[in-house]
Amino acid sequence: MEVNAIPGTGRPASIAVAEDLYGIGRWGCGYFGISPNGNVVVHAPTAAGHTSIELMQIVDGLRARGLDMPVLLRLGNLVDDRIHQLNQAFQKAIEEVGYRSPYRGVFPIKVNQQRHVIAEMARAGAANGHGFEAGSKAELLIALSELSSRESLIVCNGYKDAEFIDLGLQAIRIGFKCFFVLETPQELPAILERARHWGVRPLIGVRLKLSTQVDGHWSNDSGDRSLFGLTTRQLIDIVDRLREEDMLDCLQLLHFHLGSQIPNIRNVREGIREACRYYLDLHEDGAPLGYLNIGGGLAVDYDGSGSNQTNSRNYTLDEYCIDVVEAIADCLDPHGAPHPVIISESGRWTVAPMSVLLFNVLSVSTFDAEPLPDTLPKDLSEPVKCLLDTLQHLRIRRLQENYNDAIYYRDQLRQGFRVGRINLRERALGENICLTILNRIAALVPQLDRPPPELEAMRHQLSDIYLGNFSVFQSLPDAWAIQQVFPVMPLHRLDEVPTRDAIIADLTCDCDGKLDRFVIGGEHVATLKLHEVQEGQEYYLGVFLVGAYQETLGDLHNLFGDTHVANVHVNEQGQLEFVQEIHGDSIADVLSYVEYQPDELYQRFRQLAEQAVREGRISVNQRQEMLSLYSDGLRGYTYFENG
Ligand SMILES: *Cc1c(COP(=O)(O)O)cnc(C)c1O
């Protein structure tokens, strides 16, 4: 395709158009872009600078290694980089504000517990003193075995039983700073009892129930009705109890978590101001404190709008850090209180960019009309004649009226068919004429100043359905459960203008198994711009920013299992390393999750086949063929396989 270069850049103009259309520069966190030949690239940060790798090169590499689509691609470099950026940004803010304590981040394991991710995190964390947040016994066990640096903190949230507490106390014995954050007053007696038993001084934190409420989806994590955190009364009781036990010095940390994905920076500042009031009063009351844990909530700009909307955020990382550090200093300085170590539990922000879901398109359904035949039968029925007449008299000034007519005559046509006056062939002709009318109207609607909502809705009804080789429920559960918008775009052909408007359906064929919320040209819309799929050629799409929460929340709807996972890394020489390929669930795997025994299934099928041999229905050879198909099936991938 002929394209003009953008003056001075040597880059085809079509690439800039595609960048704007899909917004890759707005949501890509600087990691993703488009190469001059129209492929999506990842700019992988390494110690020696950035290396750009085309995702299609990775797709080809995966296919050559026997990994079919769909594949969850994890880009290890991005984890390192994010941990580094987060620590740098806090460090810079601390210097700018003249803050007199350090930052110590912890990664909340629940956001992505996968072994390879946690190992990468521990490695990157060791250089920055970045630790882990554990919300359960299982997560604490992970933290204890993965964390190597004692500079890094462990923060235990969640409701804790004696076993959880015992484990945390062992961590203190080895020399880790492991905090128990009290979510409820009931946890305290158990902590005191177990600490006495082991002869260990516990590090205790309290989770505040702030009245500051945040915008966005997670607004109920804070405020009076939040499930977690202590009321002011409970807090006072805890302080009194600790003083009685002569253990007030163990109360070292204040924690609050306003909710995930906080879109509005104002909420962050308000939360900090409120928490600092607690900090000052408790400090004056004799609790040493020393650590202020501001929870998670650092948001990802999924829609690239930079706004205070649910899928976005109206601040940058630097602004977040400055606001946090400044707000704490501003609150404490007038009272001469010492500056606490700042802990944040940023999960989503840290890992979202790392993962991309890669899948191919299996088929496309369109609602285009067939070309009308040159000659039509003479004795057409009334509804078909009227539809033809409507088609011949389409006028842009009368689109709504033309639309109403088309729908009216189509109803007449269908009614005629139901009562036997119109035959199948004639109905098909009439339906096609109607579809021709609707498509022509749809093409004219964008020219209207104020398109009627009915006509806008009709346009969406006519959009294509691209069938993607993946399951929304398994790989993008938040797209289904909380209508989260993720960036979706083709991985290649971006030097061509996409001509189709489409939604994406998944393999489940469930009416909820689809993607129909996109951001195109900066607007939230119901259809995605895609290229026409060419016969015999694969078309690949990527869903971006899926590294946080999606892997573990995914479920087995329709028994589509875990996808293959590929962990890749770009080394300092700029070479792409396929560090690890993890095969997704086989069909036998998913069947065993729902309590089938694959062996037993096979044996039963074998018996049926054997019986058919005895009855002379099939030959022994055919029996063999069948059984090997069955056992291949059990071993196979749960997604569509290319032969
Ligand atoms: C889930 C959670 C987090 C992580 O929040 P993000 O928005 O992913 O940063 C942090 N702290 C607590 C207590 C949480 O429950």
Task: Give residue-wise pLDDT tens across range 87-96.
Answer: 999 999 999 9
pLDDT at 328 over 50: yes
Task: Indicate whether residue 348 lines ligand 1 (CB < 6 A).
Answer: yes
Q: Are residues 129 and 255 in the same domain?
A: yes
The answer to the question of residue 624 being in a domain is: yes
Where helices occur in 98-224 by DSSP H, the ranges are 115-128, 137-146, 162-174, 187-198
Q: Are residues 252 and 151 in the same domain?
A: yes
What's the number of CA atoms in the CB half-sphere (13 Å) around residue 34?
A: 28
What does the pLDDT look like over 294-308, one tens digit per residue? Answer: 999 999 999 999 999
The stretch 488-495 carries a mean pLDDT of 98
C-alpha span between 504 and 82 (Å, rounded): 30
Select the highest-mean-pLDDT range: 147-156, 403-412, 506-515. 403-412
Q: Are residues 236 and 146 in the same domain?
A: yes
What does the pLDDT look like over 585-615, one tens digit per residue? Answer: 999 999 999 999 999 999 999 999 999 999 9
Task: Indicate whether residue 112 lines ligand 1 (CB < 6 A).
Answer: no
Q: Are residues 182 and 311 in the same domain?
A: yes
Q: Are residues 151 and 244 in the same domain?
A: yes
Contact 106, 140 (CB under 8 A): no
pLDDT at 488 over 70: yes
The answer to the question of residue 438 being in a domain is: yes
Given pLDDT bands bounded at 50, 70 and 90, which one contains residue 643?
low
pLDDT of residue 84: 96
Looking at the CA of residue 548, tell me the nearest atom of ligand 1: 8
pLDDT of residue 377: 86
Q: Are residues 264 and 387 in the same domain?
A: no
The stretch 525-539 carries a mean pLDDT of 95
Q: Which two tokens stand for residue 435?
A: 């579809």
Domain range for 603: 597-635
Contact 68, 639 (CB under 8 A): yes
Mean pLDDT of the chain: 94
pLDDT at 5 over 80: no
Which of 458, 482, 501 is the C-terminal boundary of a domain?
Answer: 458
Task: Indicate whether residue 268 lines ligand 1 (CB < 6 A).
Answer: no
pLDDT of residue 2: 42
CA separation, residue 113 to residues 26, 123, 152, 479, 551 (Å) = 28, 15, 18, 20, 9
Residues 6+ apart with CB under 8 A from 544: 27, 28, 32, 353, 356, 486, 487, 488, 489
Phi, psi values for residue 519, rounded to 5°: -120, 115
Q: Which two tokens stand for residue 4?
A: 């003009």
pLDDT at 421 over 70: yes
End-to-end CA distance of the chain: 33
Burial category of 496 from C-beta neighbours within 10 Å (exposed 0-12, middle 13-18, buried 19 and up): middle
Q: Which position has the higher pLDDT, 642 or 342?
A: 342
Phi, psi values for residue 36, rounded to 5°: -60, -25
pLDDT of residue 10: 65
Q: Are residues 252 and 174 in the same domain?
A: yes
Q: Which two tokens stand for residue 315?
A: 């601040």
Q: Are residues 341 and 407 in the same domain?
A: no
Phi, psi values for residue 219, rounded to 5°: -65, -20
pLDDT of residue 309: 93
Name the residue of 113, 133, 208 to mutate for ligand 1: max ligand atoms within 8 A of Cβ.
133
The stretch 229-258 carries a mean pLDDT of 95
Going from the Cα of 111 to the center of ligand 1, the distance in angstroms, rounded, reads 8
Q: Tell me how many degrees the CA angle 443-447-453 measures, rounded to the nearest 5.
A: 80
Given pLDDT bands bounded at 50, 70 and 90, which one contains residue 73?
very high
Going from the Cα of 347 to the center of ligand 1, the distance in angstroms, rounded, reads 6
pLDDT of residue 151: 87
Model pTM above 0.85: yes
Name the residue of 111, 130, 160, 210 to mutate for ligand 1: max ligand atoms within 8 A of Cβ.
111
What does the pLDDT look like over 423-471, one tens digit per residue? Answer: 999 999 999 999 999 999 999 999 999 999 999 899 889 999 999 999 9
Domains in the chain, number: 3
The stretch 482-493 carries a mean pLDDT of 97
Contact 26, 301 (CB under 8 A): yes
For helices 232-244 and 187-198, what crossing angle results, to 10°? 20
What does the pLDDT look like over 100-132, one tens digit per residue? Answer: 999 999 999 999 999 999 999 999 999 899 999
The number of helix segments (H) and strand segments (E) in the chain equals 22, 25
The stretch 327-351 carries a mean pLDDT of 97
pLDDT at 159 over 70: yes
3-state DSSP assignment of residue 267: helix
pLDDT of residue 215: 80
3-state DSSP assignment of residue 206: strand
C-alpha span between 390 and 405 (Å, rounded): 7
Task: Indicate whether residue 469 lines ligand 1 (CB < 6 A).
Answer: no
Residue 206: CATH number of its domain: 3.20.20.10
Task: Indicate whether residue 111 lines ligand 1 (CB < 6 A).
Answer: yes
Where helices occur in 33-74 by DSSP H, the ranges are 55-64
The answer to the question of residue 365 being in a domain is: no
Going from the Cα of 294 to the center of ligand 1, the distance in angstroms, rounded, reads 10
What's the number of CA atoms in the CB half-sphere (13 Å) around residue 324?
A: 29
CA separation, residue 87 to residues 102, 104, 296, 314, 582 (Å) = 10, 8, 15, 20, 31
Going from the Cα of 357 to the center of ligand 1, the distance in angstroms, rounded, reads 23
Which of 458, 473, 499 is the C-terminal boundary of a domain?
Answer: 458
